[in-house]
Amino acid sequence: MDFQNIIDKYKYPEDFIPFLKKVYGSLIQFLGKDNESLVYQVFLNTTFVFNQNVYSVLSDHDMLDVNDIVGEKELKRASGVYEAKPIIQFDGSKFYVKDVQRLIVIANFSLDKPYTIATFIHELGHAIKAYHKEFSIEGDILIRRSGLIEERYQLNYVNGKVMQTLISKRNTGIEEGLNTLFEEKVMQQYFDPNYESKAYNGVLFMANILCDRFSLFDSFLNAEIYKDSQALIDFLGEANYDELIYLFERVYKLDLKRYDCLGNLDELKKVSEERNHIAHDEFLLLYNKIKMDRNRGL
Ligand SMILES: [Zn+2]
């Protein structure tokens, strides 16, 4: 695990290396020595692209069709993205993943602007939480995992080509909340003690309370990285966990909807009120229920 291998492979510019080394070291310290090899693998196997338009870079790498996490409109204005594309082959009887291409694009990057560093940390968070068991195949179904997010694709072999069609996707809301919290914590600890994320405020608020009051940050991180939520489900209770995922999903959609009505103050107020009602009132009810269930030892 020699950091020099990463520099040699991608030939990053000389003046950029100290920063990259700091990010690398910070992430290993934050995630613990046990995850050092994971961070190394992510850096070694992910191409970082700075100061280019997210949509055009993905288009150039033929990676647009695989991205259903965000739509085309979001991608065109996105400040950053992590994307992975599996190379899937069919051997006549079964599908298998031959290779995976990974990419992080940061649209407007500057070492003087903490929020652009935060975007890089955020996307690295997605990459790190995706890497282990990112793609797996069950029969003719491709499963893609990124933290708690799980996408399923139908695979078809047509005219010598493997085609994939999205059939389902879940847990995006809770994952964005948790990953934005990850971004905030890493930024505050290593780059800017006053840093506050401006994105996904609803799901971030919920993730923060959940992790803080129940001391669940490490358990969530473990579940995200190693794709095993059982310990969390046992802690929270299965019905409560499902309800939590559902609340996060609704708040996440409203977090995104707020971007669409930034020019319309009345609409923005309406959407914000709706979001705050779920993220504060409905979430508080669930929070109290989890606390009561735990006190009763259910
Ligand atoms: Zn994200």
Which of residues 169, 198, 229 is at a domain's end? 169
- Given this model, what pLDDT does residue 63 score? 87
Cα–Cα distances (Å) from 291 to 77, 154, 237, 245, in that order, read 40, 40, 11, 17
Q: Indicate whether 110 and 179 sit together in one domain.
A: no
Instruction: Please give the distance, rounded to the nearest whole angstrom, from the Cα atom of residue 161 to the centre of ligand 1.
Output: 31
Q: Indicate whether 153 and 95 sit together in one domain.
A: yes
pTM of the model: 0.94
Name the domain count of the chain: 2
Mean pLDDT of 107-113: 94
Instruction: Please give the distance, rounded to the nearest whole angstrom, from the Cα atom of residue 56 to the centre of ligand 1.
Output: 19
The answer on pLDDT for 193 being more than 70 is: yes
Question: Which residues of 228-295 form beta strands (DSSP E)?
Answer: none
- Which strand (E) or helix (H) includes residue 49? strand 46-50
Q: How many residues does the chain have?
A: 298
Instruction: Please give the distance, rounded to the nearest whole angstrom, from the Cα atom of residue 221 to the centre of ligand 1.
Output: 15
Query: Lowest-pLDDT range, 66-70, 185-189, 226-230?
Result: 66-70
Measured CA to CA, the distance from residue 34 to residue 13 in angstroms comes to: 29
Instruction: Please give the distance, rounded to the nearest whole angstrom, from the Cα atom of residue 122 to the centre of ligand 1.
Output: 6
**What mean pLDDT, rounded, does the chain reach?**
94
Instruction: Please give the distance, rounded to the nearest whole angstrom, from the Cα atom of residue 112 to the centre of ligand 1.
Output: 22
Mean pLDDT of 86-111: 96
Which of residues 126, 147, 169 is at a domain's end? 169
Instruction: Please give the distance, rounded to the nearest whole angstrom, from the Cα atom of residue 170 to the centre of ligand 1.
Output: 14
Instruction: Please give the distance, rounded to the nearest whole angstrom, from the Cα atom of residue 181 to the centre of ligand 1.
Output: 10
- What residues make up the domain containing 113? 3-169
Mean pLDDT of 46-58: 92
**Residue 198: which pLDDT band, with cuts at 50, 70 and 90?**
confident
Q: Indicate whether 127 and 236 sit together in one domain.
A: no
- Given this model, what pLDDT does residue 263 score? 86
The predicted-structure confidence for 65-95, as pLDDT tens digits, reads as follows: 654 555 666 776 778 999 999 999 999 999 9
Query: Lowest-pLDDT range, 172-176, 245-249, 258-262?
Result: 258-262
Contacts of 262 (CB under 8 A, 6+ apart): 268
The answer on pLDDT for 141 being more than 90 is: yes
Q: Indicate whether 34 and 155 sit together in one domain.
A: yes
Instruction: Please give the distance, rounded to the nearest whole angstrom, from the Cα atom of residue 160 to the centre of ligand 1.
Output: 34
